[in-house]
Structure formats: C-alpha cells, structure tokens
Structure 1
Amino acid sequence: MSLDPAAAAATLAQARATRVPLPPFTATDPTLDARWAYDVQDCDRAARLASGESAVGAKLGLTSPAKQARMGVDEPVVGFLTDALRLDPGVVAGALAGWIQPRIEPEIAFVLGRPVSSRLTLAEARAAVASVGIAAEIIDSRYEDYRFRLADVVADNTSAAGVVLGDLHPGADVPELATLRCTLSVDGEVRHEATGAAILGDPYAALVHLSGHLAARGDALPAGSLVLAGALTDAEPLLAGSSYRLTIASLGTIDVSV
C-alpha cells in the first residue's frame, strides 16, 4: 500500500524545517506515481495555506528535453507558489542557512491577465498573459544529493524554495520569447547560455501545458497569478561568498549575492 500522501507531505515539511535531507520515497516504493505525488502536493499546499500563506501561482519544471531525458519523462511537471516563496534579492544571503542544498536558475515569468481553468491553445496562452519578466528561482531538493525520481520531485513541489522576480513588461511589448538570449554568470564568469526556445521550443507552450494540467485536475488560476515557465539553463549551486547574474535579453537582469 502506498505511503499516505498526508504523511509524505509532513515528512517533507519536517525535512525543510530541520534541513535534514531524505532518501527518495521511491527507494522504498518504486511504484509511486505522479497521481500519488500530486496528492502529496495538495496536502502540502493545504497545510501551507492553513498556516497563513497565500497562493500566488504555479511553476513548471522539466521543461527542457535534456532534463526530461535525464528523468526519463516526456512532459513537464507542475508545482505551486505561495507568497512565502517570494524573495527580494537582498534577503537571499540571509536565507541561505535555511536551505539544504540550494541552487539558482533563470526563468521566464508570466503574470496572467485573465483566469485560466481550461486547456488553452498557444494563441490563447499568449493572449492570457498580461506581463512578462525575468525571475531567478531558488530550488532546494529535500532529497539526498538531488537523487530522486518523478514521483519524488513532484511530491517535493518540484524542489521549490524561493523566487526573485525582476521587472515586468507588458506582454504585447516583449519580442518573441523563443529568440531571447539568456545567460547565467557566477562571479563574473558565464556558466550557462540558452535562448527562450529551451523551454518546450516556445515558453508559451509551458502555459499551454499548465492549462491542461489545471483542467484535468479541476483546478484554476485567477487573473494576477504568477507562473514560472521553467528553467532556461541548468542550475548553479548557491554558495556563500559568490555573486550571480541572470540576464534575459529584453527582459532584464537579476543580481544575487550570497
């Protein structure tokens, strides 16, 4: 019998609080699947909202073919965002001690101009976005050495730990997102480069996938929700004493020093 989702959510919450990583759940039960994992997420989200956090949006993960291949999956995963995950760049250094094995990665962020509850076409996804910007996502797996399978990472809310949001621009004023160049630099050295096409060929395709996920679960996002489309590059470890610069052409730059 599979581990009770509420118990799994409580175990992950304990790992976050104590900063003691876990072996993946699938090491004990390899039959655990995405349906079970999203049930764990539901329990985690309910507990966070009951504690006073507010839902602010959703995030996607495994949106690049390379990452999907490494995980042995053929579609992205979805997590949720709360206000407690929103961070200013200046507080990241102070928050470092509260994470287990944090990493940082560049993302394209959408703010919805209308509610989303049914599956969208690509054109409808573009029309649903009010503004676009750059974001720096902090991820922090609660599993030992970032070793996990699909069910584990979904249950862990796709490793969500924090979001630094840059300036936002009206969606209609932003160039074709798939063509925008992105760099992630550490201490002045460029470590990763990509274009927006790294996200499913077109970042708006991430919103299409999210809309289908919401529709299948009978869920919805209201207007004003924040959506992270997925990482454009591999993540870099957040190390004390280092400085990080994340840039997406036409969207802006985020500087984080720890």
Structure 2
Amino acid sequence: MSATPLTSEQISELAHALSSARKDVRILDRFPGPIPSTLEEAYVVQDGSVSASEQPIVGWKVGMVPSELREKMGAERIIGPIFKNVHVPLNEQQATGEMFELPVFAGGFIAIEAELVIEINQDIAPGSINTADGVEHLVKGVYAGIEIASSPVVDLNSYGPTAIIADIGNQYGVVVGSAISDWKNSIANMQTSVTINDQLINTAPTDGILNGPMAALAFMIDCCAERGITLPAGSLCCSGAITGVHEVLVGAKSTVKFGDVCTMDFTLVDINK
C-alpha cells in the first residue's frame, strides 16, 4: 500500500487504468499504480470505476478482509458493485445440472466462490436502517449462487483488500440459482460443495461464513449508507465465499452444489471468444 495519501489525480488515473483494462479486456501484469492506503481511499477509486461504467448496478458483492488485517483496516469485510452485464440468473434447467458457460479474463485473476445471494425487499436509503436491530425483515429471498472473481490484474488478491476494493471488488459474475425455501432453517442444515475438473475441492456448512450471511447483508447496508448509496428494492447481496476462494484457469469445468436444492455445472471461457 502507498505510504502517503493518494492525490486526486492519482485516484482518477488509477480508476481510469482499472476500468479501462476491464472495458478493453487488457491484461495487466501488475497493479497499475500506487495501492490505496486506506479503505476510504480505495472506495473513492471504486467510485471512479463505477462512474466510468455504462452498466447499472444490481447489487453488491461482500468479501472478507483477511483476519490478520482486520484491526489495521478497521473492517472485517469489503464490498464491490455487481453490474447488470455480469448478473447471471439461471433457468430451471441450468439450476439443476444443465451445463452453462461463464466468461472470465483469460490470463488474469480467476477464481470460483460458492455464495448465498440475498435479495432485499425494499428501498434502503442511507441511514434509514439500524442494522443492529437485525436485517432478516429486509430479505425477499435467498438463493444458491456463485461469484466469479476475475480481474485483468493477474495477481490482484496479492495486493490486499484496498487493491481489491479499487478494482470493483475483484468480480466478474454473480450467478443466481435456485431460491432456497424456508431459508433460515434450510441453510442451517445444508452443505455446499465445489468440484473443479472432477476433483472435490471443499465442502462446508452453507451458513458457515463469519457470523452468518445476515452479517454480510448488514455490512453491505452500512457500507452503502456511509458512502451515500441508496439500495433499491431487489438489490442483491452476494454474501461471501462459503467453501473458500478457488483459483482456476480458463477451461475449468466446475460443479457447485447447495445440498439437494441446486446443482450448477459450468465451464469458464475466455471473454474474448
């Protein structure tokens, strides 16, 4: 991270470099500028990338800050926008095993994450919700899902959470699979698994992320409030990796299963093909 605060010019240049690399599908062999020193600075860079995008935002991914950095960063989680063009709602066949394809930045960073996707049931204006009172009443639905973490920066995650924030949270796809009925009880008794190229990578309790998925939703609401962002009804919260962040290459064939509720079989393909 940069030892000194970034100038407004550096922030603008960094946002342009990151957003244009995504738009032009240009792979970067290193982070294209000084790494923001604080979360606040990183979110200003992210704001610049959001402004540069022509896509509407349909929700936010929530990621974890490594445990050893949480005290220094002053946060357990980070967020990044989910743009409409990488929002992938599945049909019934695709949510029950029919193969589909997901584009990624070939040669860049690519990872698969099994995640619960939460849909909110009302508009949430900044400061209108005290999340300490609970957020379950704000949930319209909970879905089996996948986040595809992909960036033109080949080793983005190695630069730390502020770099990840700056590059829109390091994601290029949020897959929304089957709705989970009676989700409060169901996810407490469900296992989620990820298989890559016919090898079982990991299995974990579906509700096993730090303090549970409602903590991720609360964080998204609070972080957006601090940034003056209104969350429209229907906004999605991709709530965090259940089985881990699994790095892969183009061509990988994967299966993500949420108990007996949803089976998602997919192949990662080059965004340019």
TM-score range, shorter chain: 0.7 to 0.9
- 2:153 paired residue among 125, 143, 147: 143
- Equivalent-residue separation in structure 2 for 1:220 and 1:203 (angstroms): 20
Give the corresponding residue for 1:62: 64
Consecutive unaligned residues of structure 1, counting only runs of 5 or more, are: none
Q: Which whole-Å deviations, capped at 9, do the CAs of 1:47-84 have from their partners, x for residues lacking one?
A: 11xx2x12211110117xxx433777541001111111
More helix by share: 1
- Equivalent-residue separation in structure 1 for 2:257 and 2:140 (angstroms): 21
- 2:198 paired residue among 188, 191, 194: 188
Give the corresponding residue for 1:156: 167
TM-superposed deviation, 1:143: 3.0
Q: 1:31 to 1:187 in 2, by over 3 A?
A: closer
The Cα RMSD (Å) is 2.6
Give the corresponding residue for 1:208: 218
Query: Is 2:18 the counterpart of 1:2?
Result: no
Q: 1:61 to 1:224 in 2, by over 3 A?
A: same
Q: How does 1:104-253 map to 2 (within 5 A)?
A: 104-117=112-125, 118=127, 119-121=129-131, 124-146=134-156, 147-170=158-181, 172-175=182-185, 177-249=187-259, 251-253=261-263
How much identity, in percent, do the aligned residues show? Answer: 23
Amino acid at match of 1:75: E
TM-superposed deviation, 1:196: 3.2
TM-score normalized by structure 1? 0.84
* Secondary structure, counterpart of 2:62 in structure 1: strand
- Equivalent-residue separation in structure 2 for 1:70 and 1:182 (angstroms): 27
Q: Which whole-Å deviations, capped at 9, do the CAs of 1:193-250 have from their partners, x for residues lacking one?
A: 2113432221111111112112222222111111100111222234344321111226
Q: 1:30 to 1:223 in 2, by over 3 A?
A: closer
- Equivalent-residue separation in structure 1 for 2:188 and 2:213 (angstroms): 7
TM-superposed deviation, 1:100: 1.9
- 1:19 paired residue among 21, 26, 34: 26
TM-score normalized by structure 2? 0.79
CA contact (8 A) 2:112 2:245 kept: yes
- Equivalent-residue separation in structure 1 for 2:82 and 2:36 (angstroms): 27
